[in-house]
Amino acid sequence: MTIFAEGRYSFYISNHHQSPSHRVIHPIIGKTNFVYDAKGRYEEVRGEGIAFLVRDCENVTIRNLRLDYARPMLTETRIADFEGGRTILDYDRKRCPMMVKDGLLFMVGEGFTNRVRSCRPFDGRTFEQTPGAEDVFLAENIFVRLPDGKISVDADLSEYGVGCKVGDVAVLRPDRRDNPAIVVYNSKNVLFEDVVVHDAKGMVLIAQRSENVTWRGTGNAEDKTSGVFPRPGGYATSHADATHFSNVKGTVVVENSWFEGMMDDAINVHSTCLAITNVSGRTLTCRYMHHQAIGFEVFKPGETLRFMNGERLENGPEVKVSAVNKLNEREVEITIDRDVPAEWGVGDAVENADYQCAAVFRNNIVRHNRARGTLFTTPKPVLVESNLFYKVTGASILFSGDNYYWYESGACRDVVIRGNVFSNCYTAAGGYSKAAISFYPVVRNPGIQQKCYHGNVLIEDNVFSGFDSPLLFALSVENLVWRNNHIEYNNLYPGCEEPPYVIRKCRNIKIDGVDRSSDTRMDTALREETDFGEGWSFVNAGNCKTKAEKRFTLPPSAEGQSVFLDVDGVKGDIEVYLNGIRVGGENGGRAAYRVNLTPAIRKPGVENRIEITGDRSLYGSLKLVRTAPVHVGYKGVSISTKIMPDGTAKVFADVKIKGPIPFVKSISPVPEAWGGDVRKENRIVGEDGMVIKKPKFVTPQSSHFYQLETKVFYVGNLVDVVTNSFSVM
């Protein structure tokens, strides 16, 4: 059923690459009290284009629809082999034709050719995104079409994350995000009910400058009658967010829906701020800063303009807009109803205080997606309730805000996170914020902030079930309460070796009743190790299992340190408990194993109790290791040597640093409050730097070992020293 005739329409779309015009399959324009009931029909779009445009409408409902694109906007390829550092990819040539030209790879469809920019690896069996792997950029790589039709690329995907294997899936992504599947623009009271979308080149739904937008299922999320998830047997869906709300007021609701395989968030809510480039009397010249957020109306006469400090990201005074003069797609003149307030001007930013919305994200399932699960940047009430976040690669919930890169604003001032389950999330730790729940505004100079950006947060009655990964990262937050949350640890993935809570530049932070407002100490005492090899009591715990117990008390110098148990030998299955809380385990055994005790450790001076149960599985030494939060990771130094033509041996060290250091691309150098600068120094003890002038080699008769000393500095302070033995071969 066609609503209106397909056509081309010119308008700007927030958070997308801009095009002169857009192909729209179903334009719904200027309608009131309009209902489109697809009655469960499957609709497939041929070529690129926006499937539905709802513009200048009020009270519109689209329901009972399943939407897909005939030629997927993302191409799923199967890893067929690895050869000499290259990866061989196979794919469905009929459904997803591709072309190799001058070493570049292009996805070909009806009326379009899209260059491949990157890929995202998935586990072919479990459908999850490969743990530890981030984006694999392929724009500079060389592709070759093989005689059998497969594609070869000079990138070894077996080296990414935990390592891809034959049979896994590499999802190829284009270099642009042009066409969302659905656009809502300048409309009010729009409902999407029992709508499923399997694919999109950009967002699935982008709603901009609108009011009251809802996406919901009439049943449970498990029914999969609503949401964004792959077609049967597929891995990936949208090239970006599932639902995205830019400059929307009223309330947005997303509930009872299933979201899986997106390349970005299940929901993203924000306002757009503009940079002030000139001031003349009552007139501000402002600029749209990010190339994907230009042209659309941010202000109209009569609306409220709020100033934002450029350095501190603090909200300022509010004024009314009198007139707007659009100079071009990147610049606009805004006249306000009074002179520009003193101390505000060039270098600061402005946002529309009227077009910011309340948000409800409830009873949804978010799983196997890249980047974050949800992202909120709005001062109106935010409720995240009764959702399941499962194997999300980054933060499950991120509260951001900036006037530096994306220019997405809206300081969160009323947040409730309640009754959710976070299951084995943060699997690509470090790439997409810093914890399961992250408050991470991009502040250019957080050290001089006078007010916290986010505030008034309640996090209660949630379940965190997963491997050792950080739970809460908070920068520039005030009045946060964390209570009655249940935490369970497993050994599904390697641990992050990070504290469970990282608090920076915050005020009035209460975690289970304890005031944690002060900054996390990064420059605590240097690494100390205590040999627990002796003094353990091994008793029969029943069913042929053994139980090892140890009691210990930390000294005052341990305040602020991270604490680990290193087990040199594990055979079989073990479970580790600290003070009655399961903090780790190992199934099947390894030669060595580390357990992060920090989440359950008691303060210095109070006794702790470790219990290890297993099937006669412990051997070798056990050590209690204390480090600064920023430290050299467990077995984190890899050493190699090369004999030079002059007979000297050059030594190379690859050092992996662990700890709560934010991942910041947009600001350089990174401010101290974000994580500062981390510096590493390596030297060979007794030699000059990293060169051995007269190396002694390993022979069948003798071995000579050298010592490599690694030092780590955080903001100029020495925080860790590690020594490793190696030999020259």
| 3 state SS of 91 | coil
- The reported pLDDT for the residue numbered 534 is 61
Nearest Cα to 226, choosing from 493, 38, 391? 38
Q: pLDDT tens, 25-50?
A: 999 999 999 999 999 999 999 999 99
In which band, very low, low, confident or very high, does the pLDDT at 365 lie, cut at 50, 70 and 90? Answer: very high
d(CA 11, CA 179): 12
Q: Quickly name the fold that domain 632-726 has.
A: Immunoglobulin-like (2.60.40)
Phi-psi region of 638 (alpha: psi -120 to 50; beta: other; left: phi over 0): beta
Contacts of 308 (CB under 8 A, 6+ apart): 273, 314, 315, 316, 348, 349, 350, 351, 403, 409
- The reported pLDDT for the residue numbered 134 is 84
In this structure, of 79-88, 204-213, 450-459, 591-600, the range with the lowest mean pLDDT score is 591-600
Q: Is the CB of residue 233 less than 8 Å from the CB of residue 261?
A: no
- The reported pLDDT for the residue numbered 447 is 81
DSSP state of 395: -
- The reported pLDDT for the residue numbered 665 is 63
Q: Is the pLDDT of residue 492 over 90?
A: no
- The reported pLDDT for the residue numbered 332 is 97
- The reported pLDDT for the residue numbered 467 is 86
In which band, very low, low, confident or very high, does the pLDDT at 230 lie, cut at 50, 70 and 90? Answer: very high
Beta strand 205-208 with 243-246 is parallel
d(CA 547, CA 539): 5
In which band, very low, low, confident or very high, does the pLDDT at 539 lie, cut at 50, 70 and 90? Answer: low
Backbone CA torsion sign across 575, 577, 581, 583: negative
pTM of structure: 0.93
Q: Is the pLDDT of residue 522 over 80?
A: no
d(CA 610, CA 548): 8
Q: How many other C-beta atoms can be found within 10 angstroms of the C-beta atom of residue 551?
A: 10
Residue for token digits 């230009």? 294
Q: Is the CB of residue 75 less than 8 Å from the CB of residue 120?
A: no
Q: Is the CB of residue 173 less than 8 Å from the CB of residue 152?
A: no
Residue for token digits 């050869």? 83
Count, residues in the chain:
729
Residue for token digits 């192909």? 23
Backbone CA torsion sign across 415, 433, 471, 560: negative
Strand-pairing partners, residue 480, are 457, 509
Mean pLDDT of 488-510: 88
Contacts of 245 (CB under 8 A, 6+ apart): 207, 208, 213, 252, 267, 268, 269, 270, 357, 359
Mean pLDDT of 709-720: 91
Nearest Cα to 182, choosing from 95, 245, 127? 245
- List, edge to edge, every strand of the sheet that includes 528-531: 528-531, 618-627, 562-570, 593-596
Q: pLDDT tens, 301-331?
A: 999 999 999 999 999 999 999 999 999 999 9
Please state, in angstroms and as integers, the Cα–Cα distance from residue 171 to each residue in 17, 77, 101, 662, following that order: 21, 6, 20, 27
Type of residue at 78: R
Tokens of 179: 């066409």
Mean pLDDT of 391-401: 94
Contacts of 252 (CB under 8 A, 6+ apart): 207, 212, 213, 214, 243, 245, 267, 269, 357, 358, 359, 360
Mean pLDDT of 687-701: 86
Strand-pairing partners, residue 9, are 22
Task: Kindly report the backbone phi and psi dihedral angles of residue 297, in degrees, each rounded to the nearest multiple of 5, phi listed first.
Answer: -70, 120
Nearest 5 degrees, angle CA 373-CA 378-CA 379? 135
Nearest Cα to 82, choosing from 183, 176, 155, 15? 155
- List, edge to edge, every strand of the sheet that includes 537-542: 537-542, 545-553, 607-614, 574-578, 581-586
| Percentage, residues of the chain above pLDDT 90 | 73
In this structure, of 166-170, 206-210, 392-396, 458-462, the range with the lowest mean pLDDT score is 392-396
Q: Is the pLDDT of residue 83 over 70?
A: yes
Q: Is the pLDDT of residue 380 over 90?
A: yes
- The reported pLDDT for the residue numbered 438 is 95
d(CA 368, CA 120): 11
- The reported pLDDT for the residue numbered 388 is 98
Backbone CA torsion sign across 192, 196, 200, 204: positive
Q: pLDDT tens, 587-618?
A: 665 567 889 999 899 999 999 999 888 776 66
- The reported pLDDT for the residue numbered 143 is 98
In 247-370, DSSP assigns E strands to: 249-255, 258-260, 267-272, 274-280, 283-287, 304-308, 315-326, 331-336, 349-352, 357-362, 365-367
DSSP 99-137: EEETTEEEEEETTEEEEEEEEEEE-TTT-SBPTT---EE
* CATH fit for domain 528-627, picks 3.40.630.30, 3.30.360.10, 2.60.120.260, 2.60.120.10: 2.60.120.260
Q: Provide the residue ranges of all domains of the chain, joining segments of one domain with +.
A: 1-73+179-264, 75-173, 289-352, 528-627, 632-726
d(CA 125, CA 117): 25
- The reported pLDDT for the residue numbered 544 is 54
Contacts of 101 (CB under 8 A, 6+ apart): none
Beta strand 454-460 with 477-483 is parallel
Nearest Cα to 475, choosing from 675, 277, 328? 675
Q: Is the CB of residue 628 less than 8 Å from the CB of residue 618?
A: no
Contacts of 430 (CB under 8 A, 6+ apart): 663
- The reported pLDDT for the residue numbered 616 is 60
- The reported pLDDT for the residue numbered 541 is 53
Q: pLDDT tens, 95-123?
A: 999 999 999 999 999 999 999 999 999 99
3-state SS record for 331-354? EEEEEECCCCCCCCCCCCEEEECC
Q: Is the pLDDT of residue 536 over 80?
A: no
DSSP state of 728: B
Q: pLDDT tens, 409-455?
A: 999 999 999 999 999 998 886 567 889 999 999 888 888 899 999 99
- The reported pLDDT for the residue numbered 630 is 92
Q: pLDDT tens, 2-30?
A: 567 899 999 999 999 998 999 999 999 99
Identify whether 660 is preceded by a cis peptide bond (ω within 30 of 0): no
Stronger pLDDT, 714 or 148, i.e. the higher one: 148
Task: Please give the torsion angle defined by the CA atoms of residues 318, 321, 322 and 324, in that order, rounded to the nearest 10 degrees.
Answer: 150
- The reported pLDDT for the residue numbered 699 is 76
Whole-number average pLDDT of the chain: 91
d(CA 554, CA 522): 18
